[in-house]
A and B are shown apart, each in its own frame.
Chain A
């Protein structure tokens, strides 16, 4: 009976309602950014929000970062599994969830909220969001450690508990949070912002039902999912069919020496995109383990990049995608493995596929990039207010060149996205530091017909004693890869230049390094891989690179085969290889 109603709805109405659903996702997204209390949300946009259907299939997702692309629907499905009896879910309920092993996905700092949406007593959709809280407690400020060995050290776990029961706030949970986190105002401020955004989603979906009827909205939901699948299948047909493989190594885990071998086999058929990570390293002692949800997000990201990067995303788009992995592996860790620096392995989920497909999908992919979130965590007291400050920020770095242009310099890694660095002027106002330098890392790496983009140098001078610094900069031992005869990029690292002049480092990971007044922490991110042989780079570009000091006159000669007059930059000679 319902089906006969479907066919009578004209196609344009379905499209209009479909577009309205997407617009709701966007509205929820911006509502959260504008009301958040934490810089990591409002500047870094380290959050996602969206709608799923009643079964937990993603309908629309507003993303600040790519890394959450798999996570909302897993949270909703976990909620459906845990509360599976009639009457378990009621209007006004909101669930709190961050358990990486139970629908949460990433690490404990990423806190999710799920709200069932009812229309006239019937469950029709879910509103969900997930945001990086500055603090969820645990052994270290910022709730991320490079030396944790169990998840219990990494903060509070919310195993899908009701924070609102039929609209009534569970004050006990709020008090537990308040007592267990270091910056309760920030974390609870984010919680309220997330709740407000969820309610916006609920209200808008109900209004849509009022206007068009529940049946049309539900039909549009199916239409939306089918539309996503159609787009995905069409792009799949355009990809080269076959099996492609790649292998790489993760540095270490902050405790064990490493490296850890990881691998992928990608099989592309007319209607499937299968990524097989079986055979990769087992889970490790330190905090770089990824859960299955994390891996799926990483795979989805690169899958979208090679199929159709500019579409509105929903679960229909992912129907052709399959991910295979061993349980208990570094990509699919089991409780109670620590996961706070999960991106150091999760990112390899993207990068391995990227590397495997780069030679066959040159129109969509590039050489390798600096591949780490490069999170820096610095805490201490402000020199004027004596208040505690906490910097938790990802870093920008170099991207790889591609078949048509140089790689981007100073851009956040693939797991981030609409992520913004913290302005120096804002940083110095809030925190007890002076930024000595924020400039491009000119190291000449990533030579190619199309150069790898540059990483950056950002230096923090501590202005008070007793500050502590923690960071995880992956790709510290294995460089970003060059493609199609382009040269490799350079590694990420950080070092400390003490007031005494003594230098400590370089490091890729460090937990709680002590800093005093006038000690400088120097963060350096790598240059991306080059694409194509440097000898094919246009001569005038090489001249311009020297003039702009992206490369030295020696590199022009040695890497690019172009000898220049140091004064006038006139071309004196081209190398034999070039001719």
Chain B
């Protein structure tokens, strides 16, 4: 049996699949700060036999929480002489352009813990000044005195040659074996010293936290008789072993959210859809990501705490390319100083939550608006919803200001929220040169299925897929993942005149590194699959395009095909190509998957009964351009495979509601997914 547990802000979700491919889910409260307790709780709730488990996969917010709450350990940094302030200088940018009082993000390591050592490489990785080893001893002594618990080492040009970093780490381990150490080349082999140093520092900062969490979890699991293979979800959409996760915990920074994106790609493969837009609406945010021909996009241009108004901190590890906006079920509707209606990014969160929760919420939210227009039913809430209060508040705070009815105001809130989400969806599709008509939208999270059919119509997507267990789909995605490691090496070379022997040697080295790492994790070489890319650009450009490269030795002819593909992709992404211009390689990117045995998914059982049996009620629902329509509401759990419904119609399940527009058609597929034909 495979089990996935995913820790969220409010709930810890569990999804399992047994040897017959049958899926089960459970939910339990998240238990900060001892998150492992929530995991054990949800295992208890699910009633699974822990001894039957052969694979345990875990998604966790422990790392991102430690970072955003500044709960990591006291960290010291060792840098090349002359560059201790790189972390504080950062890139010097000020995103909040007109704000004189802009507050630059404070470095995670204060100046007195940033120490310099004489050593220097040039851009080619050649040593021009040897490492001054005695200085390392002094620094270690000083760090001990200052009560440092973790050390980061980041030297200039170490992406090109890590020799001095390796020597330094060895020395530190000899002098102080128990301290947590990270050298920059261990977390990223890309150039740009500020970004690499930031990544290294953040890894060290959370390393002891990650170790103690993973160890506690492992102990607790073995206490309940579990000796399964244990994996942790990484931000790149794949998993890694518990052991490796303790070395480079920064790879877990987006552990949970990416699983749903990855799951969308897997679901697409199962049902024959290669081009997917994955779309997740939670309580405070909506997230989306585009999957082109089954390929989940991964980027190393990730930042934490970056907004339109602040620079945040870069983390240069592979993270699934997600666009996230502050629009979820709990997002607050408000009127700005210029009299325009806005929704989010402020959220009522879980507490007090929307007005409807009856926990003291006083601001109208998207969820409240959905109640007023009949898209959500008060009957599906845990509490007794005071609809009068919801309506009165929307009337007072929104409708009166615009001189409209409560209904129109509620619909206005939903339309503005949809407009925000539509812009995010366009950002990843139309604006990147993709035609939405070639894509299917996979909608999940608590609110995904409620908004997706309307958005699909606006965006021009032909099909919406609402997966089984839509509200815990991220955990489902984890069940389906393979192990994955990314190896990215900055390698600046003009394509013309490139030394193919050297290139192939480096590629081979990356592959053997991967095979070796997997061997250490118990994965045999025949189960390691490679996928290779180069980041290319026109000479003189900064930004690169990721271009797939066939496996095996690269020849001149093979490279010509890669360059042709690059021109095509450049044209698609940026509307032009420069076929005459020289091209340049920036990074070599190897993805190594460690494939694991996964159960075949079971098809949805026909439980008999007619469509009428699954009809819950008929209630009035307000649709833009149509007005109020009496709409049939079906119970999803009673729908049989091949059931067909026509919009307007609502399909309800536990903690999700799918709102289908007039003219749209729904089919339940063989696995139980709802397939909505979006185009009218």
Binding site for B on A (CB under 8 A): 10-12, 15-16, 18-20, 23, 27, 31, 33-39, 42-43, 63, 65-66, 185-186, 189, 192, 196, 199-200, 227-228, 230-231, 234-235, 301, 304-305, 308-310, 354, 364-366, 384, 396, 402, 404-405, 408-412, 414, 416-421, 423-426, 428-429, 434-440, 456, 459, 547-550
Contact = CB atoms under 8 A, between A and B. Distances in A.
Contacts of B431: 27, 31
B680 interface: no
Nearest to A199: B575
A549 B84 CA distance: 12
Contacts of A228: 338
Chain B interface SS verdict (over half): loop
Contact of A63 (B97, B103, B194, B415): B97
Given A12-B402, A196-B575, A424-B83, 4 more contacts: A305-B99, A409-B104, A412-B93, A426-B191
B123 A429 contact: yes
A246 to B, nearest CB: 15
Contact of A549 (B98, B99, B112, B124): B112
Interface in B572-589: 573-576, 578, 581
A410 B104 CA distance: 9
28 contacts: A12-B341, A12-B415, A19-B420, A27-B431, A186-B540, A189-B540, A196-B576, A230-B339, A309-B97, A309-B98, A309-B99, A309-B100, A365-B100, A396-B92, A404-B101, A408-B94, A408-B103, A411-B93, A419-B94, A421-B92, A424-B156, A429-B191, A434-B122, A438-B83, A438-B89, A439-B89, A440-B85, A550-B111
A318 to B, nearest CB: 13
Nearest to B544: A34
Contact of A43 (B191, B411, B419, B542): B542
10 closest A-B pairs by CB: A396-B92, A417-B97, A437-B82, A548-B111, A42-B542, A227-B338, A12-B412, A309-B98, A410-B89, A304-B98
B363 interface: no
Contacts of A189: 538, 540-541, 578, 581
Nearest to A12: B412
Contacts of A63: 97
Interface in B258-277: none
B404 interface: yes
B416 to A, nearest CB: 6
Contacts of B88: 409-410, 440
Contact of B93 (A192, A417, A440): A417
Nearest to B340: A15
Interface in B548-580: 573-576, 578
Contact of A396 (B89, B192, B575): B89
A227 B193 contact: no
B576 A192 contact: yes
Contact of A34 (B99, B124, B574): B574
A15 B542 CA distance: 36
A301 B99 CA distance: 9
A336 to B, nearest CB: 32
A95 B645 CA distance: 55
A106 to B, nearest CB: 16
Contacts of B540: 37-38, 185-186, 189
A364 B111 CA distance: 28
Contacts of A426: 191-192
A438 to B, nearest CB: 6
B102 A408 contact: yes
A364 B98 CA distance: 10
A358 to B, nearest CB: 9
Interface centre among B100, B337, B412 (most CB of A within 10 A): B100
B103 A405 contact: yes
Contacts of B100: 305, 309, 354, 364-366, 402, 414
Nearest to B415: A12
Given A186-B540, A440-B88, A65 B192 contact: no
A435 B112 CA distance: 23
A211 to B, nearest CB: 9
Contacts of A434: 122
A355 B427 CA distance: 41
B389 interface: no
Interface in B402-434: 402, 404, 408, 411-412, 415-416, 419-420, 423, 426-427, 431
B541 A37 contact: yes
B94 A439 contact: no
A189 B542 CA distance: 12
A438 B96 contact: no
Given A15-B341, A16-B419, A19-B423, A309 B89 contact: no
Contact of B193 (A234, A402, A425): A425
Nearest to A43: B542
Contacts of A16: 415-416, 419
Most buried by B among A186, A366, A384, A408: A408
A439 B574 contact: no
Contacts of B663: none
Contacts of B195: 423
A410 B574 contact: no
* Residue among A65, A231, A423 with the highest chain B CB neighbour number at 10 A: A423
B98 A305 contact: yes
Contacts of A436: 82
B95 interface: yes
Among the interface residues B423, B426, B581, which one has the most CB atoms of the partner chain A within 10 A? B423
B543 A42 contact: yes
Contact of A412 (B94, B124, B402): B94
A438 B86 contact: yes
B112 A423 contact: no
A21 to B, nearest CB: 11
Contacts of B341: 11-12, 15
B157 interface: yes
Contacts of B574: 31, 34-35, 196
Contacts of B336: 231
Q: Which of A12, A18, A185, A411 is most buried by chain B, counting CB atoms within 10 A of its CB?
A: A12
B509 interface: no
B135 interface: no
B9 interface: no
B94 A411 contact: yes
B110 A548 contact: yes
Given A19-B419, A423-B193, A425-B193, A439 B85 contact: yes
A429 B492 contact: yes
A231 B337 contact: yes
Contact of B404 (A10, A192, A408, A438): A10
A354 to B, nearest CB: 7
B90 interface: yes
B309 interface: yes
B145 interface: no
B20 interface: no
Contacts of A66: 97-98
Interface string B475-499: 0000000000000000010000000
B91 interface: yes
B84 A439 contact: yes
Contact of B542 (A39, A408, A437): A39
